[in-house]
Amino acid sequence: MKVTILGTGTSCGVPQIGCHCAVCMSDDPRDKRLRCSVLVEKGDTNILLDCGPDFREQMLRIGFDKVLDAVFITHEHYDHVGGLDDLRPFSYMQNLPVYADPYAATHLRQRLPYCLVEHKYPGVPHLRLEEMEPHEVVMVGNVKVTSLRVIHGKLPILGFRIDDLAYISDMTTMEDEDVELLYGIKLLIVNALRHEPHPTHQTVRQAIEFSRRVGLNVPTYLIHMSHHVGLHAVEDALLPEGIHLAYDGLVIEI
């Protein structure tokens, strides 16, 4: 399975508009953080996890020219769904399934009615919204996707286990029964906003602790980072073995 981390930034991305901090001014491409999304490719099956406002640019950067089989959405906040309209090239030949929990699905129907009504205007993306409860399993080709309950501040959202990969964004906490569903994974992609505590996102330290809850030595990459995380070259070297800051365009084979 080939995992491409398309974006690693928090909701406003890095650089942040108008900011002149060392991270936002850095020349290191690893300090440029588009909004969070991951592409999973296994055999002929291609799955997108979250579809933020940078989706179009992310697809162009990696030159992706294949079919997308399904999209899984963690929650309805703009930084995770702002690119859904740009799924047009992937939905000419099919009603592209987009999985979201019932709460997020309700919001998406209100926000993108023209993509989700029965009789669509020509040219709009043909999306088929599929409601997915936590702990449901969906097979996409030969890839097994299990949804997990993630708590984002006070908002219950979804995370996903895709075969032996876990993608968890915008988490503050997770119940033990959901952590148990992650046992045995070979790669954890999980959010870490900054070092200081935040009401709706994990810190770097909390992300490290979460990785340990999932298992010892689970290869872990941090996403959804703000400029407050610091410079990639400095901060990545300070992390425990096996835990890294992700960067945009990073490809991992598992």
Query: 32 or 227, CB closer to Zn ion?
Result: 227
Shortest distance, CB of residue 158 to Zn ion, whole angstroms?
Answer: 13
Shortest distance, CB of residue 14 to Zn ion, whole angstroms?
Answer: 7
For residue 184, with 0-12 CB atoms within 10 Å meaning exposed, 13-18 middle and 19 or more buried, which class applies?
exposed
Closest CA to 160 of 135, 128, 193: 135
The span from the CA of 98 to the CA of 21, in Å, is 37
Shortest distance, CB of residue 93 to Zn ion, whole angstroms?
Answer: 30
Contacts to Zn ion by CB under 5 A: 11, 16, 19, 21, 24, 79, 170, 227
Query: 42 or 227, CB closer to Zn ion?
Result: 227
Q: 38 is written with which tokens?
A: 């991951």
CA 230 to centroid of chain Cα atoms? 21
Query: 33 or 161, CB closer to Zn ion?
Result: 33
Query: 112 or 168, CB closer to Zn ion?
Result: 168
Shortest distance, CB of residue 24 to Zn ion, whole angstroms?
Answer: 3
- CB distance 25 to 15 below 8 Å: yes
Query: 76 or 85, CB closer to Zn ion?
Result: 76
Shortest distance, CB of residue 19 to Zn ion, whole angstroms?
Answer: 3
Would you list the DSSP string of 172-240? SB--HHHHHTTTT-SEEEEE---SS--SSS--HHHHHHHHHHH-TT--EEEESB-GGG--HHHHHHHSP
Shortest distance, CB of residue 21 to Zn ion, whole angstroms?
Answer: 3
Query: 153 or 215, CB closer to Zn ion?
Result: 153
Half-sphere exposure of residue 101, counting CA atoms within 13 Å on the CB side? Answer: 20
